[in-house]
Every structure is written in C-alpha cells, then in structure tokens.
Amino acid sequence: MSLAVSSNTSSVSQVETKVQTPQDLLINKIAFEIPSYQRPYVWGGESVLKLLQDIEQAFIAKEHQYYIGTVLSSQLSKKANKDASVSFELIDGQQRMTTLMLIAIAFKKANVDCELSNVATLAHFPRVTFSIREMVQGLLCSWTDLEFTHKPSDEDIHKNEYTKYLAEALNTATSFIKEIRKDRKKGEAHLVNFAKYFYQQVRWVNNIIPAGTDLNKLFATMNTSGVQLEQSDILKSKLLGKLSKNRHEYDGLWQVCENLKNYFERNVRRVFAASNWNELQDVELASFDKTKFKLVETSKPLDGLDKGFNNTRGLTLEEIVKDESLLSKSEPKNATDSNANDSDNEVYCRSIISFPLLLIHTFRIYNAQSGNGDIASRVNGERLNQAFEKFVINASEFEVIKFLDCLWQVRYQFDKWVVKWVEKAEESTAALRLSNVNFSKTQSRLNRVPTEITELSQLQSVRYFTGERSAQYWLTSFLGWLVKNNTDDKDLVLAKLEDIDNKLSLALFYEQLSQKQASYNYLKKPEVSVGNSYEMSAYLKQINGTGFEHYWFQKLEYVLWKNEQNRADDKFRKYRISSKNSVEHVHPQHEEYDKRLEDSYLNAFGNLVLLSPGENSSYSNQTVGKKQEDFKAKPVYDSLKLKQIFELKQNGEWDKDMIKQHQKEMICLLEKHYFG
C-alpha cells in the first residue's frame, strides 16, 4: 500500500511534497521537532557506518544524487526554533533526520572545513529538537557547543535508552572521518569534497500532510496497516499486472519472499496455509510448485489485487484517515491453520540485506540465467525501480513468471545458506548465524535450529562487514551458484564460498575489475582464475599505514580462526568476526616514543591490527607491554592477529625483526589459503 503524493496544495486530501537536502535546511532556516510519542533513536553504529560508506561510494562514482528515502511531517504553527523560518513535526523519518544531524555534528567536531558542519544547529538551538526529552536536548547542545541546562554524565548516556545509540552513532561517524584522514590515498581533500557532496546531493522527500489532519489517528494507521512508500510495492504492482492468471498465487509468492523478519518455511506455511503440511519436506520448498502450495479459498481479494491491478495511484491521506478498517489490526493472510499463528510483528531473525536489495540480486541472477547482460545501475536497494525500469516495460508474461519463480528459489537458498542476525538466550547480543531446518514428526512441521559459529558463518561475516555494505556483491555469485546446484553438502558450499571470496578479493588486482563486474562474471564463468599471489603479497608489503583495505585484516582473521588448533580455549570459542573500522599500530606512533621505528616498519602490515573504535581507544598510545597485559585481561580475543603478535612477542621486545617475521608468517598463511 502506498500514499499518493502531490505538489498540489489546493486539496486537503493531498500531500505536499518537497525534495530537500542538508543545504536546503541551512539556507531556508528549516527546523524539525521530534514529538513525544516517537520511539527512541535506535540506529546505532552499524547502520550509520553503512549509510556513510554507501554515500561515499556514490560520491566516488560521481552520482548526481543520493536518495535516502522519505519523511512524513506536519508544518507547525508554533516554531520548534524561534530563529527558524519554518518548523516541521516529524511524524515518520526521525531516525534518518537525526542521523543526518549526528553526521553533521561529527564533521563539526572534527573541524572539517565545510558547510555540512553548520547544518546541525540553527542559531542558538539544535536544528532537530526533541519534545520533552531534556537529556537528549542537553546532549545535542553539549556536542554542538550550545548552551544547555543539563548534560548527562557518560554513565547516564550509555544507560539511557534515549541517548545510548545517539552516542554510538556519533562515535562511529567520528571514527569514519578519522579513517579517511589517515588514508593517504584520500586525506583532507577527499574529506572536504565528500562533505560538499553530502551537503548538496544527499536528498529526501518531505511529505507534508495537510493542516487539520488528525496526527494521532494517522500515526496509528501507519503503525497498524504498514502504510508507507515502498519501491517494492510499486514493482510488485507492475509485475503482477502483467499476469493474465494465477495472480493470487504469485501475490502469495511475493508475500513469502518479502517478509525478511521470519524464516522462509514459516512464511510459506502462513501464506499457503491450505497446503498439506503433514507431508511437506524442506527439499520440496526449493522451487515454487502451484500443485503443492495452496492458498486458503477466500472470497476476499489479496492485497486489493482485484481492485484494478494496474492502478498504482495508492491511497490519498483523506482515504487513509477516514477508513476506520485500517485502524483495526487484521489477522495474517490465510492464517487459518492452528499451527500457522506466527505474529506478523514478531521478529525471529534480522536479514543482512533489505528486500529491495534481494530483488536486485535475484534480477542479476535471472539475467545471467537468461543470457542477458548485467543491470546498468549500481547495486543498491534504493535504486530498485531504476534497475527494473526496462524489464517492467518490455517483459512478457512468461519472463515475469520466470523471474518470480527465480525469486522463490533465491529466497529459499538465502534462508538456507546465508547468515541472519539471531539472538540466543545465553548471549547478550545478536550474532550472525546460520540455522538448520528439521522436520518434526510430532508437530508435523519444519523447525529452525540456529547452528554454532562455523567457517561458513565467519567467512560471510568477513564479506558482510567489508566492501560496499549497501551492495553485498558476493551474494549475487553465491546465491546464483546455490540456485543452480541446490546442494546439501556443507563442505562443498564452503569451498564454493571461499572460491567466490578469493576471486572477488583478487579482482581489483586483475584487470582492475570492479566488484560489480567480478560478481556478475562469476555467474557466467566461475572456473576462470583471477589474480595471483605476487600481486596480493606486493600489496600487503607496501608501506601504506592505515590505508590498507580493511578486508585483508578481516580475511586474515578468518584464516587464523579456521586454522586455530586450540578450539577449546574459552576466549577463542567466544570470538566472532565483527564490525571493525579502526586500524591500530601495535608499536605506537605517538611522539613520546620518539618514533624509534622507521615508517617502513611502523606502518607495515605486520605492525597493524584492525579493531573497533572502542577497542582502539582502550589501547590508546600505551606501550606494547601494557597493551599485551590489557589484551590478556579481556574475556574474549578482540583480534586473532593481535593474539599472534603477542604470542610471538612473549617477553621480548616488539621490534622491527619481529614485525618482519609476523608479517611474513601472516602473508604466507594468506598465500596458502588462496593458492594452496
């Protein structure tokens, strides 16, 4: 379902739309207020880093703009900021707008010479204010050097649900800026130009609702009915509009695939509830068979499919607010089976990618299967309809069905072999895990059991946390191979993923292939070799300091983890490859040590480790011996490379000879993994 938007302000049933940028906020003195009924800020470091990396990739690619989505607002008669020309109450979109302000604050605190650093404030107040949340307001004021009445303590910041993720997000943005400054290939000029791109080219659509709209009712409607502007809804309508029959079945297929907060077989059971679930095995879910997967007979159309299939107008605000039925939470579609009572709102797992991005990976796989070329646009969920533009115009009914069948197969393999964020009762945080599907004879249903951390999940973590986080190019190659082979052999799947990972990582050394090109080439010719050990070793031996690609540190962590002999070590068993973006010098580079090492050793791969910003700051500029003691005292290894360094050092001095030895040993391990 989608909102109809219009720039026509003559009718109160329409929404006024404005495309805005950070530059517009500054020039036009625009302010926002977060109402008291909004939930706390929850993005945190992971999402902020992903956003920054993706915008930087768009900047490097010289894309005309970077679109971050839509917000829904209402113009306030009483301004949130007395110095503002206009103030908006944010009904939907506070996470994105708050994140933009935090990024602007990070640039301000880093003293980057750019207009972006001025966006976070408007005269004497933060540009985004929080209704009745004094602690949040005081924190934002303190970060932007404004006057404040109450600044929370560091302890309060990390305990309070309204401030802890704000602090984490700001810390991540600050670390991102520091890493660019350290990178000799980028440096200050890159940072200033990136800030200018962010200021002028990052855009969103502000949907401004008419005056007099019942905001509480509208907000409740959005929460209960999921009313929002979604590119995937538009694509679905266009694709299913090309079908002359079986629309209901393929709408059901789409529902199964789009719900990424639950596992595939549970979605199938909920949507195709009339199927014989006493007999269906997991292997039968690998492809879409309309004779096996059956919808419950109903006189009601699914998702309004019979209300004019090609009508993509959506609903006006007036229609949404007046429709009382939208305020009643409906039962899950086809949930008539007593065992198919999973709540639509309950989150069983979190996907590493969005549904629009899964659709794009599927489309690339479909194109390769059909002998077509790759998509022209960048692989990014925000560019969904751009990627499908020609297909939705020119595709025949047969081709649409072929794509939808491919989507089902991809989603099945995705849930079978690709990690999800899963929380286990005995662990404090979610981890990237795989899971097994078992058929329970007593319950006559398929059950999911999360597995322990394995080579397959650790290697996927390497891929997930490095490269273009918004694209995850490796998924095209991996899922394409899985769909083609449909195997249960875990060793074979691991070997294939290692091959994909090796070839994608070496692609930049081989004819300067982009990850997009390399991932699509693999679909067509997986047997082609890429790169050589000389090129990889030469890269790791060069004097580059913090400019080393983070991927190589994470890949080495995987190789060390895979080769570890003492797997009973409790610290090792708790170790996970996780998000890290701060390069630490083991032998410190601080001036008080008089730079006893030449730059060629100080900045060598053998003297560097990759840590999270928190881990890096905990070591600070301590001596190697003090770092070693702190490392030993931690309950889990924060780096297996650092473990290797301290085991080599033992009680000796960490000098250039040890750095050379460690670097040689690590490069040899990588060469053996890549080339045998």
pLDDT tens sequence across 122-151: 888 888 887 656 667 777 887 877 766 566
Predicted confidence band at 100 (pLDDT cuts at 50, 70, 90)?
very high
Q: State which amino acid sits at residue 248.
A: H
| CA dist., res. 449 & res. 463, Å (int) | 23
Give DSSP secondary structure letters for 525-566: -TT-----HHHHHHHHHS--GGGS-HHHHHHHHHHHHHH-S-
For 479-500, the pLDDT digits (tens) are 999 999 999 999 999 999 999 9
Q: Is the pLDDT of residue 667 over 90?
A: yes
| CA dist., res. 607 & res. 598, Å (int) | 12
| CA dist., res. 514 & res. 276, Å (int) | 46
| CA dist., res. 602 & res. 622, Å (int) | 15
Q: Are strands 30-34 and 66-75 parallel, antiparallel or unpaired?
A: unpaired
Q: State which amino acid sits at residue 125.
A: F
Q: Is the pLDDT of residue 375 over 90?
A: yes
Q: What is the mean pLDDT of residues 614-629?
A: 79
For 536-547, the pLDDT digits (tens) are 888 888 877 777
Q: Cβ(519)–Cβ(504) under 8 Å?
A: yes
Which one, of 393, 387, 608, lies nearest residue 516 by Cα?
Answer: 387
Q: Which long-range contacts (CB under 8 A, 24 or more apart) does 435-441 make?
A: 435/263, 435/349, 437/263, 437/265, 437/282, 439/281, 439/282
Place of tokens 């040890």: 658
Place of tokens 């795989």: 434
Q: Is the pLDDT of residue 509 over 90?
A: no
Domain borders along the chain are 16-225, 534-676
Helices assigned H by DSSP within 374-468: 384-387, 389-394, 397-417, 455-465
Q: Is the pLDDT of residue 223 over 60?
A: no
| CA dist., res. 497 & res. 400, Å (int) | 29
Q: At 243, list the tokens.
A: 């079908």
Predicted confidence band at 565 (pLDDT cuts at 50, 70, 90)?
confident
Q: State which amino acid sits at residue 1.
A: M
Q: Is the pLDDT of residue 340 over 80?
A: no
Place of tokens 């080439």: 521
Instruction: Please state whether 594 falls in left (phi above 0), alpha (psi between -120 and 50) or beta.
Output: left
Question: How much is the pTM?
Answer: 0.74
| CA dist., res. 94 & res. 32, Å (int) | 9
Q: What is the mean pLDDT of residues 6-35?
A: 74
Place of tokens 């962010």: 198
- Output the CA–CA distances (angstroms, integers) from residue 337 to 273, 386, 407, 535, 612, in the order listed: 6, 39, 25, 58, 47
Cα 383-405-264 angle, rounded to 5 deg: 80
| 504 CB-near residues (< 8 Å, 6+ apart) | 473, 474, 477, 515, 518, 519, 522
Q: Does residue 583 sit in helix, strand or coil?
A: strand
Higher pLDDT, 77 or 306: 77
Q: At 268, list the tokens.
A: 């199938």
Cα 253-399-488 angle, rounded to 5 deg: 55
